[in-house]
Amino acid sequence: MSLTLTVLGCSGSYAAPGNPCTGYLVRSDRAAVVLDCGPGTLGPLQEAIDLAEVTAIVATHCHPDHWLELPVIRNVFIWFVPRSDVPVYGTAETRAMDRAITVMRSGKTDPLAWTVIDPSSRLTIGDQEWSFALTDHPVETLAARVDAGGRSFAFSSDTGPGWDFRSLGEGIHVAMCDASHGREDEGKGSPHMSAREAARAAAVAGAERLVLTHLAPGCDPDAQLAEASQAFGGDIEVARPGLVLTV
């Protein structure tokens, strides 16, 4: 059994040239789950998988750069790749926003089957076990952990430095963490982490491998990598569109 992660987009807060907003595809033997679906991620998703094979969608919070492709996906499943009852899991705020902008044509049924989740939620999606924790962010934001086949992947979603991966439990093989800015912006009240703070958040949890993500457009990936290396002794890399990680 394998657990892989494909980066669809990983630009922080808004799209960078050639890099959509946040979105990942988490695949195992019996499930293919879209983890966040920010603007622009539908194109790369189609390069990674047939849309008819998407098992479920998980949206970590209501900020638009993490979910606003969802109404577009809904239209695809109504008109172009007809599907029904595709599970969508997300916070109550995200559900409310999705409902507010959804206009269903008369006679059409919503192909997305919503379930509201919170930090206490536990999901079984195919052979994947999902759990969540509340992060340090201005809106309800859920860090996510996925376990499958004895391997574990954890995603911070968006968070400030008041959170770390210990809230998702032990035995994390790959930790993917918000590293939106450099150390020069630490302590300025940003609702995001620096690369060094991300490294600390993974190190205290004993994660084996760290992937820096959500870098703001203009951030130097090499500089972020160097800063993170000061606080994390394991393997580190920077997310990029199209990257496929074997957990």
Question: pLDDT (tens digit, 9 = 90+) per residue, 171-180?
Answer: 999 999 999 9
Supply the pLDDT for residue 185.
Answer: 85
Mean pLDDT of the chain: 97
Asked if residue 13 lies in contact with residue 65, where contact means CB atoms within 8 angstroms, the answer is yes
Which tokens sit at 42? 């539908």
- pLDDT tens profile 185-217: 898 889 999 999 999 999 999 999 999 999 999
Has this prediction a pTM greater than 0.95? yes
Half-sphere exposure of 247 (CA within 13 A, CB side): 29
What fold characterizes domain 4-239?
Metallo-beta-lactamase; Chain A (3.60.15)
* Domain limits, the chain: 4-239
Which tokens sit at 18? 């050639």
Judged against a pLDDT cut of 90, whether residue 148 lies above it is answered with yes
